[in-house]
Amino acid sequence: MNRTRLYGLIAIAILALIICYSYITVSNGPIQPLGRLSFVKVENPDMYPGHPHSVLLAQYAQERGSQCALVVHFAGSSNYRSYEQDLNTTSSTGQNGTYIIEVAYIDTQGGGSKSLSQINFFDSFKVALFGVPDGRYKYMSDGVVYNNYTSMMNHVETLAQAHGQKGPIPMVWHGTVRTDSPFIDPGCGFPLYFQIMTNTYGLIPAYTYMVYGLIFPYLHSPYWQFELSHSSELQTLYNTGQLDYNYVNATSNVDRYYQDLSKQNTGD
């Protein structure tokens, strides 16, 4: 056996061990990492009852027998209200909907994940090696700002228990990209997804499921080809306000839901 082949076999064995270790570690945990939900925005607002990406996430959860799902974002102008996403079908567990829990992070050291042009790559490298420093992020969920990671996760767990969650909660990062290439930019919420993975399972499983998460929409989303083939057009429409939905003249239950949210105090 020549040296090149031996090194190749060693590398394959190490990779297999990393994958097996990560799978076993995550299989026994409270969070089930799925990956990226979407590539670009197709409507604005883009996570609410009836939205295609919301329905898709609810379907992911239902397929896995989960009563809830967690989607993480980079904080923008939303209050990130959690909500019930009804489905037209009933699963084998008897559920006909999924409670979608929304959480966003606020980077107190800048908005570097908004676009590739704003990323401090040295800073990102340090985060990738050592994880997110304690106290760097604040978090928004259901109109409340949480000053630390533990308080935010306690909120997530409380919501999940209140809505009958049994077993691990499926988690995705939103993934939408407003201006850059969605092939290169991992999109909205990726750093928080990575933080939750590192805090829950450690760096090695976080890296492993980060790679899987980037592949996930190509394997499971019915929209990935449409979103990527029309990404520039959809980004232009979003950034010029042409994807905005007017909730002032709401008629359906879904519309009224968001109309009611728009009337609530957004100053938290």
Output the tens digit of pLDDT for each of the chain's 268 residues: 678 888 888 899 999 999 999 999 999 899 999 999 999 998 887 788 888 999 999 999 999 999 999 999 998 878 899 999 988 754 444 467 899 999 999 988 765 445 555 556 667 667 767 777 778 899 999 999 999 999 999 999 999 999 999 999 999 999 999 888 899 889 899 999 999 999 999 999 999 999 999 999 999 999 999 999 999 999 998 888 888 765 444 444 444 444 454 444 333 3
Rg (CA), the chain: 19
Spatial distance between the Cα atoms of 241 and 141, rounded to a whole number of angstroms = 25
pLDDT one-digit tens code per residue, 78-121? 889 999 998 875 444 446 789 999 999 998 876 544 555 555 66
**Site of tokens 């590192």:** 198
Spatial distance between the Cα atoms of 235 and 183, rounded to a whole number of angstroms = 14
Two tokens at 219? Answer: 């394997």
